[in-house]
Amino acid sequence: MSAPVDRAAPPHQDARNPVLPGFHPDPSVCRVGEDYYLVTSSFEYFPGLPLFHSRDLAHWRPIGHAVDRPGQLALDGVRPSGGLYAASLHHARGRFHLVCTLVDGLQQDGTFLLTADDPAGAWSDPVWLPGAPGFDPSLFFDDDGSAHLLGTRPTDEEGRTEIWLRGIDLDRGVLTGEEHVLFRGALVDARWAEGPHLYRHEDHYVLVLAEGGTEHDHAVTVARSRRLTGPYRNNPRNPVLTHRHLGIWHPVTGAGHADLVRTPAGDWYALLLASRPYGGGGHANLGRETFVARVVWEDGWPVVNPGSGRLEESTRIALPPHPWPEPGPVDHFDAPELGPHWSLLRTPRAAFHSLDERPGHLRLRLLSQTLAERVTPSFVGRRQQHADFTAEAALDFAPAAPGEQAGLVAYYDPDHHVRLLVDGDGTGGRVARLTVRDGGRDTVRAELPLASGPLVLGAVARGQQYTFRCGPADGAAPELGTVDGRILSSRHAGGFTGCHLGLYATAPYPTATRADFDWFRYAGA
């Protein structure tokens, strides 16, 4: 009798969800060898379309943005939650290809194609595809080498849509051949069948799409066909994933918009979005986040997280762990450029921030453009990623007159944000002022006279209670007030984004005054 063979278990890990916390919706993923690359939506924020790299589907590091040059496309004047919608990322023919839709652009809008040899390098200028109506485009490369473009377009004013497909000549950037309508939704009277992705599995073309709208009723549905152009048969087990039946009090809601990826060993996973509401009533200040789930195939259909059928706090992934170095909580502004976690609003046409005019500081010019407008204000922000957090900034700022303001903000959109700003008091001094903007109306909640010298401004959130502080850098920072943070959620304000914490400077007239931030600290509690 031979001795038993000692077979080590394959390497695996438990990925903690969400794998990309904070405002990272509509993930699209592709694999190149042992490497995985992912893009998410960015809407009105610049740089646009953030890109991430992973070796294990659990740990993702930012590697840049596909839209990072003002000359690539125009986000000027884009409405809140307009701009760059769901992109789709692919690698084929030795290059990376990304298709996306610019929604409600004032200079140009519609579907476009970007390409790159290296996703962390420079991406091309957009090739616009005027023959591609609607939104949520995706590419599919068939086994014969042909390329095809899928898209979503409305068919009425009630949210009904259809998924269409045409050939695409990637070298010339034009659509080719006949258009085919593939699917109009899995469920009776389906609304917002969108976000299509197409795969080959065994002898079928498998169409995975989002359905039900991107809020509480979101879902993942599936159809398949033996022919690329259809007809596509509805999966009798649809939806294959949803949390709509779990109620608005469930810790994770709005699960949907999945993209599938296969590992070299043949295991399948889904990257998809969901939200984590807190504070009661479905308020998800962090926006829609990226989660990972396991996928197996039964009878030729995908099954998501078999045994539970819902998103879990952690997902077992059959890949060896590959964490990246974690950045520290403090940005000392001593790098030559802002890190990839920082965002601006819309396309910056003139430089309003500097990291070299005063080394070791982020210097902001005071612009007349404000957070209450659809413009590019002097604002640099980062995503809120925790329900409980501390955000602090060190500010050196001497306003010359009333109206010259700088400080810390919690921002959702032009009509919903909180500003803790230092302002001139009209007598040569200065004052800290806490202002809440809700529904487009400003309410001053508190004021505090300030002595001269550097300051520390802070926001501490415990759930939906955001407490703001301001005081001298070498002393205690007294509280100015606590704000109900539910105004910073899509449930209250509408839209598709998430709360940002940021630095801001403004004045109603041209001025030589500048605001210098020595450091910014963000940490989850």
Q: What is the DSSP letter of 30?
A: E
Structure confidence at residue 4 (pLDDT): 47
Average pLDDT over residues 380-389: 98
pLDDT band at 1 (very low <50, low <70, confident <90, very high): very low
Cβ burial, residue 372 (10 Å; 0-12/13-18/19+): middle
Asked if 242 and 226 count as a contact pair (C-beta separation under 8 A), the reply is no
pLDDT tens-place string over residues 46-89: 999 999 999 999 999 999 999 999 999 999 999 999 999 999 99
Lowest mean pLDDT, pick from 181-190, 369-378, 390-399: 181-190
Q: What is the DSSP annotation of 171-238?
A: TTTEEEEEEEEEES-SSTT----EEEEEEEETTEEEEEEEES-SSTT-EEEEEEESSTT-PPEEPTT-
Asked if 348 and 367 count as a contact pair (C-beta separation under 8 A), the reply is no
Question: Would you call 26 a catalytic residue per the annotation?
Answer: yes
Q: Residue 10 above 80 pLDDT? A: no
pLDDT tens-place string over residues 136-146: 999 999 999 99
Residue 37: helix, strand or coil by DSSP?
Answer: strand
**Which listed residue (109, 194, 215, 438) is catalytic?**
194
Asked if 129 and 175 count as a contact pair (C-beta separation under 8 A), the reply is yes
Average pLDDT over residues 236-257: 96
Average pLDDT over residues 15-41: 98
Q: Give the tokens for residue 521.
A: 């600290």
Question: Would you call 68 a catalytic residue per the annotation?
Answer: no
Percent share of the chain, pLDDT over 90 = 95
Asked if 363 and 514 count as a contact pair (C-beta separation under 8 A), the reply is yes
Average pLDDT over residues 330-352: 97
155: phi > 0 → left, psi -120 to 50 → alpha, else beta; which?
alpha
Structure confidence at residue 281 (pLDDT): 83
Alpha-carbon span 504 to 511, nearest angstrom:
15
| Beta strand extents in 104-173 (DSSP E only) | 110-116, 127-128, 135-141, 147-154, 161-169
**Which listed residue (26, 215, 331, 438) is catalytic?**
26
Structure confidence at residue 296 (pLDDT): 98
Lowest mean pLDDT, pick from 17-26, 95-104, 467-476, 492-501: 467-476
How many Cβ atoms are within 10 Å of 79's Cβ, its own excluded? Answer: 16
Domains, the chain, with CATH or none: 13-317 (2.115.10.20), 330-524 (2.60.120.200)
Q: Residue 388 above 70 pLDDT? A: yes
pLDDT tens-place string over residues 437-488: 999 999 999 999 999 999 999 999 999 999 999 999 988 889 999 999 999 9
* 452 sits in which H/E element: none
Structure confidence at residue 8 (pLDDT): 55
Percent share of the chain, pLDDT over 70 = 98
pLDDT tens-place string over residues 256-302: 999 999 999 999 999 999 999 999 889 999 999 999 999 999 999 99
Structure confidence at residue 9 (pLDDT): 58
How many Cβ atoms are within 10 Å of 335's Cβ, its own excluded? Answer: 9
Asked if 450 and 400 count as a contact pair (C-beta separation under 8 A), the reply is no
Average pLDDT over residues 30-53: 98
pLDDT tens-place string over residues 90-131: 999 999 999 999 999 999 999 999 999 999 999 999 999 999
- What pTM, to 2 d.p., does this model score? 0.96
Structure confidence at residue 477 (pLDDT): 86
Q: Residue 309 above 50 pLDDT? A: yes
pLDDT band at 2 (very low <50, low <70, confident <90, very high): very low
In whole angstroms, what separates CA 17 from the centre of its chain?
A: 15
Calculate Rg over the CA atoms of the chain.
Answer: 24
Mean pLDDT of all residues belonging to the chain: 96
Structure confidence at residue 280 (pLDDT): 86
Q: How far is the first Cα of the chain from the last one, in angstroms, to the nearest whole number?
A: 58
